[in-house]
Amino acid sequence: MPKKVVVSGYYGFDNFGDDAILSVLCDKLKTLNADVTVISSNPSKTSSDYCVKSVKNFDIKNVIKTIQNSDILISGGGSLLQDVTSLKSLLYYAFVISYALFCKKDVVIFAQGIGPLNRKISQKIVRNLVSKAKYVSVRDKKSLELLQSWGINAELVNDPVFNIKIKDIPKNYAVGIQLREFPSLNEDFLNSLADKVLEQFEGRKVELFVFQKALDEKVCKYFAEILKSKNPNVDIKIVYYKNRKETFKRISQLNYMIAMRFHAVIAALKAGVKVAGINYDVKVEKLADEASIPLISLENKTNSWCKIFEQLKSLKPSDLSDFASSKHLDWSGIEKLFTV
């Protein structure tokens, strides 16, 4: 009889990275003959996109009923157990986990980034819940070290998006740029980036990728205005996220990518697109170091722009795709729950 699995995460919000994670997880669970239900902000779309059952995230009565009727709760991936976005967000995901534990279900913390946890109450909640999980995997060393300091066993795994399969398709010689709002992303940085893009990629089409409309659209539109003000003839297109397959295809067609978001960098690496990261988050810095790709600092004065673009242009697509292929996710911890 198929095991009933409930998946809890930041799903249904039209966010490229989280949607890609969910696609990998659902595909794997189906190979294990699981009966999958995803807790989502947009159940009808999630159900249609992934061919799974889905319940509304704040339909608490239905969420409770779904957990009661399940065998396993998978919380993740992504960074759910943190209080930087908001304490309310942490409390919501903690409630889902705690109720599953109360119902004596197997709980999996899946490929998560734990923290930051700036409040003592947050640390206490997360430590208590994660210590009771059946299996815990994290996607970064910092999270692993935090859990180890709490005496919690966890496995360090690669991000699920590395498991996405991307077809090799012809290039359109465009330059992709993926930006998101961030406190230290300022006008000085955007102007310097625009100058270098126009100088180094003269005559090329520029595609600006909006991965999550609420956080990306405004800054992408503003950057487009900066580019146009410097060169009215530049060919610019803002590419909105509609679905993960189309976005992967658009990224695969690029020759170059400059990206802030972690999963934008991963997508480029998978497709063998020459890519530079922008260091808004330590996870992007770590990935850039591991993949030996250039890293652009938001502290504009520290950038050696000529060196950065020289390194970017010298990258070998085969090296990038080979690196990405070596980072597949280890599923053994989850597979064991289906063999009991």
CA 24 to chain centre: 12
Given pLDDT bands bounded at 50, 70 and 90, which one contains residue 308?
very high
At residue 19, the pLDDT reads 94
What's the CA gap between 269 and 332, in Å, rounded? 25
What's the CA gap between 242 and 249, in Å, rounded? 12
CATH of domain 175-325: 3.40.50.2000
Amino acid letter, residue 325 = S
At residue 209, the pLDDT reads 98
At residue 282, the pLDDT reads 82
340 has a pLDDT exceeding 80? no
Interior CA angle at 86 toward 66 and 281, to 5°?
110
Average pLDDT score over residue span 40-65: 97
Enumerate the domain spans of the chain: 4-157, 175-325
Q: Which CATH architecture has domain 4-157?
A: 3-Layer(aba) Sandwich (3.40)
89 has a pLDDT exceeding 90? yes
Same fold across 4-157 and 175-325: yes
At residue 86, the pLDDT reads 86
166 has a pLDDT exceeding 90? no
What's the CA gap between 8 and 36, in Å, rounded? 11
Given pLDDT bands bounded at 50, 70 and 90, which one contains residue 43?
very high
Q: Are 280 and 182 in contact (CB under 8 A)?
A: yes
Express each pLDDT in 176-192 by its tens digit.
999 999 999 999 999 99
Compute φ and ψ for 118, nearest 5 degrees: -85, -15
Q: Are 276 and 312 in contact (CB under 8 A)?
A: yes
At residue 167, the pLDDT reads 83
What's the CA gap between 226 and 195, in Å, rounded? 9
